[in-house]
Structure formats: C-alpha cells, structure tokens
Structure 1
Amino acid sequence: MIHIQKATLQDIDTLIDFQQKLASESEGVTLNGDVLRKGLQALFADRNKGFYFVAKENAEVIGCHMITFEWSDWRNGMVWWIQSVYVKETHRKKGVFKLMFDNLLNILSTDPGIIGLRLYVDKSNARAMKVYEAMGMDGSHYTVYERMKN
C-alpha cells in the first residue's frame, strides 16, 4: 500500500538520488551532490523555504515532490508551488503522482489559507505535461521567465 507523508531528514539521501535523476532525465543537467545536500539541509532547517512530501510503499520511498510558497496579494492567500517531482522509474504509470496530487487537493480543500497549486515544467518534457493536464492543471495561462546567477 502506498501512503503520502512529509519527508524527514532520514529521507535526504533518497531525495538527493531522486533529484539527481530528475535533473538528468528532464533537463540533461548534472547536479552537484554537495550543493544539493546543502540545499536540502537548508530546506529541512527552515520550513519557511518549503518542504517535501514522499510517497512510500512499505518503507521504500518511491516518489517525492517539494512544496514552496507564493503569497498572492490579488487573492489574499498562499499558492503552493509543486516542484522537484520524481517517481521511481519502476513505479511510473501506476498512479503514484495521482496519489501525491490527490493528497495536495485534499489539503487545498480543507485549508482556506491555501488558494491554489502551481508548477512549472521544462517545455521539452511532454510526458510530464500530459500527466499534469490529466490532473486538471492548465498550462496555458502563464509563461515563466528566469534569470539565474550561475
């Protein structure tokens, strides 16, 4: 049976592995493991940065995603950004992401302070876009621009 829970520090090695695989698979990027570990440690140390949910089957972590926050003055509420979504290859197409997403919808329906969910996806990741559209998400409203500092 698969269940969804907040990640703990004990999950950090798995999260590092998953995020390295995600970066490689989705964007062809190799992440620096030391930087990633420090980033995850900073996240766990400061809940204002966000947090991870993990999907577990028995004791094995089989999927994850991070939540970060955006305040909307227009709507007077918090938008949760879904980031760093990864499901183990052996568990894909088995409804793991749907369970993780349904968990978020349940939280959204019971917490009046959370007004919506957003995510971004690499434009070349057609498979992920199909999954998100199947969950009822609309990717046609905004285009995200960025300027990163190396």
Structure 2
Amino acid sequence: MASTTSNRRPASRGSQRHAVRIRLAEASDLAFLAGNHRAMAWETEHRRLDPAVVRRGTRAVLHDPARGFYLVADLDGRPAGQLLVTHEWSDWRDGDFWWIQSVFVRPAFRRAGVYRMLHAAVSVLAAHAPSVRGLRLYAASTNRAAQRTYEKLGMTRTGYVVYEQLVRGVGRRRGRGARG
C-alpha cells in the first residue's frame, strides 16, 4: 500500500515540489516510530516516556497485525511522519471503528501536507474494508492546532469524554495515570 503525491511546501520554504509516499511501517522503522512517540509525548504533554517500554510497545504492533498497523509518510525519501491505527468493535453498528493514534509529523516537515496525506490514506483503506464503520481519534484538549487540522479534514467533535483506569504500574506518576 504505497501512494505517492506531490505537495508544495509553504512559501517560506521555497516553491519546489516534494513527493510524499505513504507506506505500511516495517520492522526497520522501529527506532523512527519509537523516537517519535517520545517526542510527541514531550511536545504535547511534557511527559518523558521510558524508551524501553515505548520500543517494546511499538515492536508489539509491528510484529502482530491484530494489534493494529502503522503508516509512515516519507517526504523526498526521508521518514517524516506517522500514525497508528487500532480497531474497536461496535456492537451498535456491527462493525469496527478505526482509531487513529500516535500521530506525529517531525517539525521540519510540518505544514507540508504530511498529516493530510496520512489521513487520506487511512480514509481510503477504511473505505475499502467492509467492516469499518468510521474513524475516530482523540487529541489532547490543549492541542488546538491538531484539533483544527482534524476538523478541516472532515472529522467532528463527539459528545464523548475519555476516561481511563490503569491496572498496571507502567507509566504512572504521582498517582495519575499515563495516557497512550
């Protein structure tokens, strides 16, 4: 599953065209993906994630498709961004919702349409998967830029609030549970 298109960078970065290629992640992407998870947690929540735990969690998805799949966006042959898709069964709709998670575009590649291309690829894959009823994601309540991006791509805010209760100690700090 690879798709390629061209996007223009913002005027401040020149008017040259850049090829974006979306592909399924491979085992060789482990360091890129895990590094981005840690960068995203720091950037959005000022949280330091344990590198070993993040690598194990990322590797688990890469080696077990039942857990989900990663898409990677390559810009001019260099990995630029990623997202993870997991699934949730809906008995109300007799089908799956795909959850878009772990979205991250490296700062040097932002505003170049990388996430838009990742989102479009997930949308196409979902449209061709008969059991998929829709796409969902959650965003940090303080990440207004991400929220605007998702809304521009046709996603709507739901009436749901996310709660969690951790049952294992990994990621806990000062009595608060860790997201992710």
- Cα distance in 1 for residues equivalent to 2:166 and 2:90: 23
Gap runs ≥5 in structure 2: 1-18, 173-180
Shift of 1:40: 1.1
Aligned to 2:69: 51
- Cα distance in 2 for residues equivalent to 1:57 and 1:104: 17
One-letter amino acid matched to 2:109: H
Aligned to 1:77: 95
Alpha-carbon RMSD across the aligned residues, in angstroms, is 1.1
Given the two structures, how large is their TM-score scaled by the length of structure 1?
A: 0.95
- Cα distance in 1 for residues equivalent to 2:85 and 2:27: 16
Aligned-pair identity in percent equals 35
Shift of 1:109: 2.1
Aligned to 1:34: 52
One-letter amino acid matched to 2:89: W
> Aligned runs of 1:57-68 on 2, under 5 Å?
57-68=75-86
> Aligned runs of 1:126-145 on 2, under 5 Å?
126-145=144-163
Select which of 91, 95, 102 maps to 2:120. Answer: 102
Deviates more, 1:57-66 or 1:25-34: 57-66
SS of 1:128 mapped into structure 2:
helix
Matched, 1:17 2:35: yes
Q: Give the structure with higher Rg (CA).
A: 2
Cα deviations across residues 54-77 of structure 1 (Å, max 9, x unaligned)?
001233110000011100111111
- Cα distance in 1 for residues equivalent to 2:63 and 2:27: 9
Aligned to 2:136: 118
Given the two structures, how large is their TM-score scaled by the length of structure 2?
A: 0.80
Deviates more, 1:42-51 or 1:19-28: 42-51
Shift of 1:16: 1.3
Aligned to 1:8: 26
Shift of 1:2: 0.6
Greater RCO, 1 or 2 (C-alpha within 8 Å, sep 6+) = 1
Cα deviations across residues 26-67 of structure 1 (Å, max 9, x unaligned)?
111011101111111111222111111000123311000001
Gap runs ≥5 in structure 1: none
Q: Which runs of 4+ in 1 moved over 6 A?
A: none
